[in-house]
Amino acid sequence: MGCWGITAFESDEGLDALGCIRKYLPKDGKVKLEDIIDSLKKDSWNHPQDIKEGYTHTSPMMLAEVMVKFLDGETAELDFYGLCESKSVCFSGISSFTADKQSIQYLQKYLSEHLKYKRQMDDFGEKYGEKWGGFVKELDWIEWQGHMEFLIHRMNLLLAATETSGELLDMQYSGEENLQKQLAAVCEKEGHLWQEGNADPESGTSDLECKRCCETITLKW
C-alpha cells in the first residue's frame, strides 16, 4: 500500500475505501451517512483503522473527502476514480444524501484524534531520527496536516448548520461558494465574530469585518 500525495484520493488505502463506499451506495440513490459508516465498520478490509497506530490515510478520511466533494458540487468527479457498473451505483446517481449529527460528530472526532496522534507520533519519532510523519518531504507533512485541519473545519461547519439531521443536497453549491454559504449559515445561527479596522477620525467611522464569513459593515462613532 502506498500514496503519491497528501489526500486519501492519492493513496491506495483511500481508493480502496472509495470503492467500498461505492459498493454500498443504495440502488435508489438515497444515501444515509450513518449507513455508510456502519458499512465501513463491518468491512474487514476498509474498517476504520486504529488511529493510535499512526496511519496516514484512513477510510473515515476518505468518507470526509467524499462529503466535501459532494457539498462542493464535484460529485461527478468521484466517478472517475474507478468504474461504475450502472448509474444507480455511481456517485452522480445520488438523489439524496442525509447526514445525522451523531455521524458527523463521529467523523469530526475521528479526524481530530487521527491528527492529534499522528503529530504525537511524529514528535516521538524525531527523537530517533524519524520525521515528517512518514512522508519523504517535509512540505508533504505540513500540507497533510493542513488538509486534515480543513476536513475537520468542514465537519465543524456541518455540525453548526445541522440540528439533528440535514440533507447535504440542499447545501450543495460549487467550491468557494459553498464554503462561504456554510460560513454565513453558521454566523446567522451563532452570531458574527466582528473585528474592527480602518478607523477614520475625520469621518468618525470604522469598518467591522467578521473573521468567519468576512461580511463587512461600517460603524459610525
pLDDT digits (tens, 9 = 90+) for 180-198: 766 777 777 777 778 888 8
**Which amino acid does the sequence have at 93?**
G
Strands across the sheet containing 205-210 = 194-200, 205-210, 216-220
Return the minimum-mean-pLDDT range out of 99-103, 129-133, 158-162, 198-202: 129-133
Is 206 in contact with 198 (CB distance < 8 Å)?
Answer: yes
The H or E element that residue 150 is part of is helix 138-161
pLDDT at 143 over 50: yes
Report the amino acid identity of residue 193.
Answer: L
H or E element: which one contains 63? helix 59-71
CA distance 110 to 117: 11
CA-based radius of gyration for the chain? 20
- Residues forming beta bridges with residue 96, ordered by sequence position: 30
pTM for this one? 0.76
Identify the bridge partners of residue 98 per DSSP, sorted by sequence position: 32, 167
Dump the DSSP string for 23-47: HT--TTSEEEHHHHHHHHHH-TTTS
pLDDT band at 87 (very low <50, low <70, confident <90, very high): very low
Q: 115-139: per-residue pLDDT in tens?
A: 999 888 876 666 555 677 677 788 9
Per the CB < 8 A criterion, the answer to whether 204 and 221 are in contact is: yes
pLDDT tens-place string over residues 16-74: 999 999 989 998 999 999 999 999 999 999 999 998 887 899 999 999 999 999 988 88
